[in-house]
Amino acid sequence: MLLIYCPYCEEYREEEEFRPKGEAHIARPQNPEETPDEVWGDYLFFRKNPRGVHHEQWLHAAGCRKYFNVTRHTVSYEILETYKAGQHPASDRAPGVGTGGAK
């Protein structure tokens, strides 16, 4: 069983309480009326799918129901850190160097 730390509840909870929601830190185009269709298409549909460290947005669906961000290694599934939505990761850590984001 994987335990994930919710930065809002400030406690570790079971993985089943959470839902991954995709890539974090995606910037919406600043001027929608002047944004070309190709840029909108990239914003809406294209996401990174890296092998290694990745920043994702998650929802604590069975708890506080708030969105937060997770820095996760996509191969080992190791969670390196969790942090509140709107914040940025402490750093882009190398795999295996975590802050206790999971137990």
Report pLDDT for 100.
Answer: 46
Banded pLDDT at 17 (limits 50, 70, 90): very high
- 1-21+41-103 homologous superfamily: Folate-binding superfamily (3.30.2270.10)
pLDDT tens across 37-60, in order? 999 998 888 888 889 999 999 999
Percent of the chain residues topping a pLDDT of 90 = 67
Q: Compute the distance between CA of residue 93 and CA of residue 100 in angstroms, rounded to an integer.
A: 13
Report pLDDT for 22.
Answer: 92
What residue ranges do the domains of the chain occupy? 1-21+41-103
Q: Token pair of 25, please? A: 């830190």
> How confident is the model over 61-73, as a mean pLDDT?
97
> How confident is the model over 79-89, as a mean pLDDT?
94
Banded pLDDT at 102 (limits 50, 70, 90): low
